[in-house]
Each structure stands twice: as structure tokens, then as C-alpha cells.
Amino acid sequence: MQLGATCLEGGRCEFLVWAPSCREVSLHQVAPRDRILPMERQPRGYWRLMAEDMPPGARYFYRLDGERDRPDPASHYQPEGVHGPSQIVDHQRFSWSDQGWRGCALADLVIYELHVGAFTNAGTFDAMIERLPVLRELGITAIELMPVAQFPGERNWGYDGVQPFAVQHSYGGPEGLKRLVDACHREGLAVVLDVVYNHLGPEGNYLWDFGPYFTDRYRTPWGDAINFDGACSDEVRRYFLQNALHWFRNYHIDVLRLDAVHAIRDFSATTFLQELAEQTREFSLGNQRTCLLIAESDLNDPRVIRPAELGGYGLDAQWSDDFHHALHCLITGEALGYYGDFGNVGDLVKTYREGFAYAWRYSSFRKCRHGASAADRPAQQFVVCSQNHDQVGNRMNGERLIALAGFEAAKLAAAAVLLSPYVPLLFMGEEYGEENPFPYFVSFEDAELIAAVRRGRKEEFEDFHAAGEPPDPQSPRTFAAARLDWSKRDQPRHRAMLAFYRELLRLRRANPVLARRDNNQLEGWGLEDEKLLWLRRWNEQAEVWILAN
Amino acid sequence: MQLGATCLEGGRCEFLVWAPSCREVSLHQVAPRDRILPMERQPRGYWRLMAEDMPPGARYFYRLDGERDRPDPASHYQPEGVHGPSQIVDHQRFSWSDQGWRGCALADLVIYELHVGAFTNAGTFDAMIERLPVLRELGITAIELMPVAQFPGERNWGYDGVQPFAVQHSYGGPEGLKRLVDACHREGLAVVLDVVYNHLGPEGNYLWDFGPYFTDRYRTPWGDAINFDGACSDEVRRYFLQNALHWFRNYHIDVLRLDAVHAIRDFSATTFLQELAEQTREFSLGNQRTCLLIAESDLNDPRVIRPAELGGYGLDAQWSDDFHHALHCLITGEALGYYGDFGNVGDLVKTYREGFAYAWRYSSFRKCRHGASAADRPAQQFVVCSQNHDQVGNRMNGERLIALAGFEAAKLAAAAVLLSPYVPLLFMGEEYGEENPFPYFVSFEDAELIAAVRRGRKEEFEDFHAAGEPPDPQSPRTFAAARLDWSKRDQPRHRAMLAFYRELLRLRRANPVLARRDNNQLEGWGLEDEKLLWLRRWNEQAEVWILAN
């Protein structure tokens, strides 16, 4: 029961859509010819059609109740954008060259997060391919793509996606992504894809017309929550579970990074995340390829990464925001907003030892106790960074760490991350000390929405910034400012930074103590007044002392 | 830091109230004299006052922002009802006679659920005392009081309580409850108290004036959820945690029955229920007295009763609704509403074996899969019944099982419950075959609310009942109809039923196989067409066969 359009032999195509809110559903083919084919009602609100003469490349809408043409909720391609018709993709056609690829073990991940649109001047998957050798030589083992699911317009961080199965047309669509992943695997690089299962974007979200994908029982920062535990939630879950497997199967993605799992409101006895972890594990075993799930979570809840036997959801790893915040505050001295909870060397030591600094401790920012101890979890289950798209881009001006704290401080931060026992994540450009900002950008079409986003952006920064106007998120110039400047890599200072990163990554691989993902054989002390941190890591034969100030 | 009024030596009294929403809080004493005493602001929104010459029995309001007089959110007594002043209670004054009482082990519980107002003609705690020997002789080991926290008016099931620390004045207030609990313990009976931590009633809820006790991030059937995981939730939690300990400490309550824990919306890494379980265990150990927590939960989620080491919340036991529904449907043949999910002998067999029939299986009523396997949980962690206040009273006319299915069927149901390996719960009167209904009743003062409840009641039964009007919940006659008729116990048929219950309870204690709380040494088979159920239970020496039709 594959949702969406599935190409079969002889030019046939099977369509399946969940639309329990509709009395009648038809397929409205719009290219290469125009015709309407009635669909057959199935149990539990599904509608099915086996269509003849429906080749890959054909474009279609679903016509709901004989009235409204809507793109396929499980569309694999939206060549004309979020409001346009869906296009049939035949995933058998691509010839993969990565037959020998078996994925990358969690402990071996060194992640490089990037935005497809801003990573190169062309802003496409194909343009990225020639840059891969540089990343491999640096010592990266995986690239992480910010979300590529179809979003409104051509510029967006990706968290406003509304067709979770479709690959953004302006990046190069399905074929482009496949060529990129194939090239990564040829280079020995794994691919992490950021997927958003906690909300849909505000423009082009037609799911409301199909069925109860959302629930008003929970509110999230983005409005009504996705219905993961109410009536009809089996079908909503199937949609997102198939989405995960879609990326693993059709695009050979190695790791899914799950955006903001704390906004996946789910009180059921068997949670969606548990199901997702089980199905991912099953797929991984069945395909003899390492497929992993890494969560972004604001909960500091070890349940997210504990195995099911211990009452957990069984995800493989999660980001440690505490590590970032503790490091960031020591380096920048910032104390506004959530940074007010950090600033002690002791907090950073604690994250080195246990993953979280807040393990059921009072947070002034949250105004309540926060978190639980994750000291029982192995080090490889935590992903740490000194900056990422969120921490950079959620600032009013999108300043990177180097712009805030300078060159030497950026080196210190790099060492703090790369000599940690955790899985490190770099944000594109930091490896050569890129100073360009990474501001928030969108390209909506709806004028009201654009105004609301501009307004929201200003309101958001009342807490963080005393004065100044945030850059206009809708402006192409704001997006253009985010682009990496590849020419910098040849300039002396930037070359020095690059060499420093390369050396740190080499050390991390070559030194037997540093190569271990182990925070038990690690101890640390801090002098708060001097902002001095010692770390001692060891194994049976050797030890490494790290002194940071 | 005790919330509310704490009597100290020399006529002094300490007041503590959490009122972060207020700029100014005073104590307005109204009896025995009238005076206003300003309170002192404390960290985190608390207000404190040490008052001289403030004896037990004194009555007071908190005056908020110099404007509004409000009863104490942690009032121990509301002698004039929910809108009146709070009264100071000195818990040291009661002379307890239960020094040797150590509580009742979970496995030994045989619970008798009752409504204080309807159990006797007088409807008070004191009137109950003379009935206790009869319950003890029957073989009951614990009475369970439907909620006694102060509710509006004089007649209410108890789930509309608004002063969770106060004891309903019309039942006899704090002293009355203490006399009852003391008498129970003298009779060797434990006391289970039903407490509601998932919502407050609709009339007399003044918590909104004090602080963010509620959150709009979650919706419950009763409106905004209580704020267990947002900003200021530490203080909200403290309120309910102190409430639990208040009953254990000041009233010698043995077990708290937590109403509808599925409506305690809490996504924090360390949940309120975990904290509650930890503090209860601590109190229990510190006082060398068994104090327990039993949850009502609609989730079929074994996390509720798994220990913290296995990722659970660590409550001691929970009700198995599935057992009730499976049994009820076999006996009555009913299939409306949630009963549509049941009706197979196989479901009942499964609940005998594993506690839940729905362990991640599709429920037509819920329109999604439901539950998770609890097969790893010991039998004593499940409470089962053939009827309870909810299952009887939530029917339009409040019919008991005997009124629906007759005398012989009621006997069968009794055996099904009492010969199970689980903790049995009887609903008052079923032991002698009471036919009086237990309809839903209230006694609100607010005319709009009364109209809304009447309307709501009618709407609720569109699904369950084709025709007929539900009894008026506000009418005193509806309440009067719920009273037990104690004279029936002397009538032959009722005497026969009583003897049957007594014999079942004797067998359950005396027979070494039946005395075990063990659903591993149990197997069962069903013939669906014949509605025939076999159960085999055994131990090392003997076995018992139970055949039911």
C-alpha cells in the first residue's frame, strides 16, 4: 500500500491517497493529456486508482468532491511549485552506482550541515557534487542537508515544506538529489537528510482538505499539532512512516535528522517515534545498510534515545543543545534569552560527562525544572556543535560564531567540539572561518503571510536584541547574503582555519584516546573565574589532556 | 514550605500561597474577627505571612491586588462551600487510634468503591462508620471513597471539586473524614481516596486568579489542561504533590486513586507522575506504612505502572478498563459506543492473561490502534471490576449490571472478577444485588452551568441510547435515587447474593491457587458461539478450573 503514484510495468501507474474527508475523489491528469479518472473508495478513507497509459512525467491533481484540484499529499515531485500539479516519478529509472555502499556507523559520523541553496552559487544538488572531494579531504564523513521537501517559492530554510515526499524543484528535483547522494556514496560520504514531521508550512498545505492530519488537542509553535495519537492517527502515521522509508529506499539516504521531535505531540502507548525507529531498524537490517535516526529534541529526555526495552523510543542519537549553549556562552559571554541558563564552565564539563547540563534542574529561561539524566547513554548518541543553522540563523542578523567572537575563539570552539567524545556537527563554512551570516530567509507568495513573517521576526527578537531591525526574510538579498564564499578558502587566514580543522579531524581519527566515543573515560574540571577548562580522556594505554581557556 | 495555613504553637499560623499573577496579596481574616494582614512576597511568586492570634477555626480569604477576596487554593476546609472563606484546621488536634496500622499490601487489596453521600441515608462520613463491620465481614480489605475534595453544592460525584485540599463540608469536613479513616483502620480496612489531578470543576475554580495553573497548549475534555510541564510548572506540581502527601499525612489515607491520568498532559523528561510516585514511596518508607498509587488510565500504556528503571512512571497499579468492557459485553451483549470494541470471549481471556485486550490493536471506537502489551507486569498491578461508578453512572439512566442482565448474570460477573488473579473492585451495593441506579448528579449554583450540564448530558447519550431523556442531574431526586437501600440485605434474594460474594471472597483467600496474584500460571480458552470460557489456574501443588457461560 504505497501512498502516492507508483509506476508499474506497461505504462500503468497505481495511485493511492488517504482522503477520508471527501465524498468523492478523482484523478485529474493535466499532462501530457487532460482527463479525469474516478478513483475507487477503499477501507479507512483511502482512494485507489490503477491507471493505464500513465507514464513517468505525467502530471496530475486529485480532484476532491468534484470541485477542488489539489496536489498529491504524497507527491514525489512538484515541478511547478507547491500549488501546481504533481508529477509521476519512476524510481526504477535511476541507475545507482553505490551498490557496495553499506552506510556509516553512528560512531564514525562527522557531520557537515549545509543548505543546498546557499552552499554553492548555483544552489543546486548538481552544483554541490564538485565540492564533495573537498569535504572528504577535510575529514567529514557525512553531509546533512537542511530539508529539501517541497516548500513555497525558491528560497527557504526548508522548515516550511508542505509536500514531504517531494524534492524541491529549484534544487534540482528527484533526479538531482539522487545524483548527489550517489556521488556522496562514491566519495565515501554518508547523507543525512533533515525531515520535518512535527508541522507543515503555512503556504501550500492542502492536507486539511484530505483528512484529519492535524489535531486541535495540542498546540505547537506552528499551530495545530499533527495528529499522531487521535482518531485516524494510524493513517497519519502511515503517511510519515512511508515518508521515512521513501527517503531510505528511493534516495539511498543514510540518516534522517528529525526536526523538533518535542513538537510531535503523542501520548499513545506505542509512540510514532517508536514505530519509526522499529521500521527504520527493520529496513536497515533487510537492506544490509546502516540507516539511522537522529532527533532534534528540546526535552533533554533520554527516553528519546533509550531502547524500547528501557522504555525509550529507540532513536539512535539526538542533538545536545546544552553542549552548544554551554560552549557558546563561555565563548561569547552572551546571556540573553535561553543563553541566560548557561555561562559556567561547570555546565560544559557536565555536558562532556553526561550529554545534558540540565538533567532535572531549574531553568530560569523555562521557569521550571528541565530534563533528566542521560548519563547511562553512550557518547555516540549525542551530536554536538559550536553552531548550526538554528543557532546561527535564529539570531536577528544570523551571525556566525566567528563574527561574534573572532578567529581564535572560533578555533577554540572547533577544538571543543572535535575533541569531544560525541558525534560532531559542523555548519557549512565554519571549517574555513566563513564570516557571511546565515540569516532567516523565505520566499512566500501570499502577501499576508509575508507580512506576518516579517512581523513575527521582529517580535521574536525583542528578547534577544535591544535594538536594530532584522533583515527582511523575504528579500532575495537576505538569501544571497547567506551564500558561502568559496574563494575565501584560498586566503591565508581561512586556509589556516581549514588546516586547523583538518588537523583536529585527523587527530580525532588517529589518536586512540580521541577516537573513542566514550564519556566514561573522561573527567573534567573548570575554574569559573578564569574560564579555564581541563579535560582528561584516557584508555588502557594512554591519556590525553585538553586545556581550554 | 507547606502551602495553605499551617498551625504553629502559641496561636500562630503560617500562611503560604502561590500567586505569581498578583501584584499584592493580603490575608483577609473574617472570623472570629475581621482584619487585613499584608503578606510578604517570596521568590517564585509565593506570598507568606506569619500571623499571631490566628487559632484553628479562624476563617479567611486571600485578598488579591487589594480587590478580590478568594478562598485559599490550598484551603483545608470550606465550611460555607466553595465560594466562602477558608477555615484553619489544626491537624495535630485529632487523636488517632491507629498507631499500629501499617497499611495493606497491594496484593491483598479487595476494594469496595463507594460514594459517601449515597452510601448511607445521612450521607456523611460518620454515618458510614457503623457499616464498616459489615464490609469487613464480607471480606473487603479497603474502601475507596469517590472524591471528597470540596465541590460546589452538596451533591456531586466529586469530580467537580475545586479545593483539592479541603474535605467536603456536607460530608462532615476534615474531622469527619479522620474519624472515618481511624475507624476503618480499627476494623482492619484500608482507605483508598479518589483524587483528581487532571482538572478542576467548572464552578468555584479561583485558581485562574492566582497563577498559571492551567495551560492552553493542551486541551482536555474539561477544557484547558493543568500546567504540568510549562513555565511555572514546578509550582503547580508542588501544589499537587503536597496535596497527595496531605492526604497520606494528615488523613492517614492508604491509597490514592488518581483520576484519569491520561488527561494529565505532561511531556517533560521527568513527569509529574514519576515525581508523585517517588515522593509517595519516600513517604511510605519514612513512615513505615504502605502508601500506594493506583491510576485510572485510558491509555493502556504499561509505562504508567512500569518502574522508573524500565522507563515507567512507577505507579503501583492501574484499572483495566478492558477487563470490564470485555466482561460487560459478554454478559449484556451491548455493542454501542466503546462497547463496540468488545464482545469476544477471546478478549476476556486476553485480559485474564495480560491485563489489556488492546495492546496496539486497532480499535473501531477510537479509530486507531490502541495500547501496548503489559504482559510483563505482575497481576497485582491491575484493578478489575464488573462495574464501577463510571461504568454504571455514565449510562444515561445509571443502571447497574444486575438491572441490565439479571441476578444470575450478576453472580457470573462477580465470579469472573473475584476469581481473577487481579485486585478486585466492587461498586457499593453490588454485593447484595442492589438494583437502584447510580445516575449522574450535581448541585451547582450557577444557572448557566446547570443548563449546560443538562444539555451536555443529553448530547452525550446520542451515541449510547436511541431514545429517552436522561434524569435531571441537578434534581435532588436523581441523587436520592442513587442511595443504597440497606433494608434489602435482609431480603432472601439479596441475602443469597451476599452469601455468594462472601463465599467467593473466602475462596479467593483460602484456596492457594486463587489466592495468588499471578497471571502467568493461568490459561484460558473461549468458544465464541457458545460464549463459553474456561480458565485454568495452578500452582506447584494444585489447579483450579473455572468454567463460565
Q: Which of the residues of B are catalytic? A: 259, 296
- pLDDT tens, position by position, B57-69: 999 999 999 999 9
Closest CA to A334 of A460, A466, A501: A466
The per-residue pLDDT for range B294-347, each reduced to its tens digit, is: 999 999 999 999 999 999 999 999 999 999 999 999 999 999 899 999 999 999
Is the model's pLDDT at A194 over the cut of 60?
yes
Residue A168 lies in a domain: yes
Measured between alpha carbons, how far is B177 from B128 in angstroms, rounded to an integer?
10
Taking CB atoms and an 8 Å cutoff, what residues of chain A touch B225?
Answer: none
Residue B517 or residue A548, greater confidence: B517
All residues of chain B having their beta carbon less than 8 Å from the beta carbon of residue A214 are none
- CA of A272, closest CA in chain B: separation in Å? 11
* Percent of chain A's residues with pLDDT above 70: 99
Minimal CA separation from B374 to chain A, in Å: 10
Dihedral of CA B412/B416/B419/B423: which sign?
negative
Give φ, ψ of B470 to 5 degrees: -70, 150
Closest Cα in chain A to B266: A267
Tens of pLDDT, residue by residue over A436-472, are 999 999 999 999 999 999 998 888 777 655 567 889 9
Mean pLDDT of B22-40: 98
The answer on A278 and A202 residing in a single domain is yes
Q: Is the predicted pLDDT of residue B525 greater than 80, yes or no?
A: yes
Residue B465 confidence (pLDDT): 56
Closest partner residue to A232 (CB to CB) among B299, B306, B368 is B368
Is the domain of B80 the same as that of B162? no
Find the residue in A nearest to B374 (Cα). Answer: A269
Task: Decide if B231 and A366 are in contact by the 8 Å CB cutoff.
Answer: yes
Residue B466 has pLDDT above 70, yes or no: no
Residues A35 and A170 in one domain: no
Predicted local distance difference test score (pLDDT) of residue A125: 98
Same domain, B57 and B146: no
Distance (Å, whole) CA B43 – CA B18: 10
Contacts of A265 (CB under 8 A, 6+ apart): A215, A217, A218, A220, A225, A226, A228, A229, B218, B267
Whether residue A189 is found in the same domain as residue A232: yes
In angstroms, what separates the C-alpha of B234 from chain A's closest C-alpha?
5
- Residue A223 pLDDT: 76
User: Which one from A72, A235, A259, A321 is the annotated catalytic residue?
Assistant: A259
Shared domain check, B189 and B115: yes
In this structure, the answer to whether residues A277 and A138 fall within a common structural domain is yes
Instruction: Please tell me whether residues A66 and A183 are part of one structural domain.
Output: no
Range of the domain at B167: 109-195+385-405+422-446+475-510
Which chain B residue is nearest to residue A263, measuring alpha carbons? B267
Residues A213-218, mean pLDDT to the nearest whole number? 93
CA distance A392 to A408: 18
Question: So what's the pLDDT on residue B449?
Answer: 94
User: Quick one: DSSP state of residue B384?
Assistant: E
Does residue A541 fall inside a structural domain?
no
Q: Provide the grid cell at B122.
A: 445521612
Chain A residues touching B267 at Cβ < 8 A: 262, 265, 299
The pLDDT of residue A219 is 85
The verdict on a CB contact (< 8 Å) between A371 and B270 is yes
The whole-angstrom separation of Cα B128 and Cα B43 is 44
Q: Which strand (E) or helix (H) includes residue A345?
A: helix A345-354
Domain end, chosen from A33, A65, A87, is at A87
| Those residues with Cβ within 8 angstroms of residue A503's Cβ, 6 or more apart along the chain or in another chain | none
Q: Looking at the structure, do residues A145 and A289 belong to the same domain, yes or no? A: yes
Catalytic residue status for A316: no
Chain A residue numbers with beta carbons less than 8 Å from the beta carbon of B217 are 218-219
In a domain, A375, yes or no: no
Looking at residue B464, its pLDDT comes to 58
Domain assignment present for residue A495? The answer is: no
Q: Quick check: B371 and A269 CB within 8 A?
A: yes
Residue B204 lies in a domain: no
Query: Residue A53: left (phi > 0), alpha (psi -120 to 50), or beta?
Result: left
Find, among B125, B7, B28, the residue nearest to B70 by Cα: B28
In a domain, B350, yes or no: no
Residues A266 and A197 placed together within one structural domain of the fold: yes
Residue A321 covered by a domain: no
Q: Are residues A152 and A22 in the same domain?
A: no
Q: Which residues of B touch A (CB under 8 A)?
A: 216-219, 229-234, 262, 265, 267-270, 299-303, 306, 309-312, 360, 362, 366-372
- The reply to whether A418 falls in a domain is no
Q: What is the ipTM of this complex?
A: 0.94
Q: What is the pLDDT of residues A128-172, one digit of tens each?
A: 999 999 999 999 999 999 999 999 999 999 999 999 999 999 999
Q: Which residue of B has its CA nearest to A367?
A: B231
Residue A250: closest CA among A329, A337, A161, A148: A148
Higher pLDDT, A520 or B177: B177
Is pLDDT above 90 for B99?
Answer: yes
Q: What is the CATH number of the domain that holds B47?
A: 2.60.40.10
Mean pLDDT, chain A, as a whole number?
A: 95
Distance (Å, whole) CA A23 – CA A42: 12
A299:B368 CB<8 A: no
Q: In A, what residues contact B, Cβ < 8 A?
A: 216-219, 229-234, 262, 265, 267-270, 299-303, 306, 309-312, 360, 362, 366-372
Mutate to test the interface with B, among A198, A309, A368, A377 (most CBs of B within 10 A): A368
Q: Judge: A262–B265 Cβ closer than 8 Å, yes or no.
A: no
CATH code for the domain of B141:
3.20.20.80
Contact A265 B269 (CB under 8 A): no
Read off the pLDDT of each residue in A295-307 and give the average, rounded to a whole number: 97
Alpha helices (H) in B101-206, listed in sequence order: 116-119, 125-129, 132-138, 173-186
Query: Is the separation of the CB atoms in A320 and A308 below 8 Å?
Result: no
Helix axes A407-418, A492-510, angle to 10 degrees: 20
Contacts of residue A314 in chain B, CB cutoff 8 Å? none
* Partners of residue A167 on adjacent β-strands: A149
Tally of domains in chain B: 2
- Chain B residues within an 8 Å CB radius of A229: 368
Domain boundary among A87, A111, A137: A87
Same domain, residue pair A140 and A253: yes
- How far apart are the two ends of chain B, measured CA to CA in Å? 57
Domain boundary among A264, A295, A326: A295
Catalytic choice (A182, A229, A275, A296): A296
Question: Cβ separation of A217 and B218 shorter than 8 Å?
Answer: yes
Share above pLDDT 90 across residues of chain A, in percent, rounded to a whole number? 91
What's the pLDDT band for B462 if we cut at 50, 70, 90? confident
Inter-chain Cβ pairs, chain A and chain B, closer than 8 A = 89
> What are the φ/ψ torsions at residue B3 (nearest 5 degrees)?
-70, 155
**Poorest-confidence range of A13-27, A78-92, B477-491, B534-548?**
B534-548
Which of B367, B370, B377, B463 should one mutate to test binding to chain A, selecting the residue with the greatest count of A CBs within 10 A?
Answer: B367
Contact state of A218 with B216 under an 8 Å Cβ cutoff: no
The CA distance from A160 to A148, in Å, is 10
Asked if residue B524 has pLDDT above 80, the reply is yes
The answer to whether the CB atoms of A312 and B311 lie below 8 A apart is: yes
The yes-or-no verdict on residue B235 having pLDDT over 60 is yes
Tell me the C-alpha distance between A361 and A358, whole Å.
5
Say how far apart CA B549 and CA B546 lie, in whole Å.
10
Arithmetic mean of pLDDT over chain B: 95
The tally of CA atoms less than 13 A away on the side-chain side of residue A18 is 21
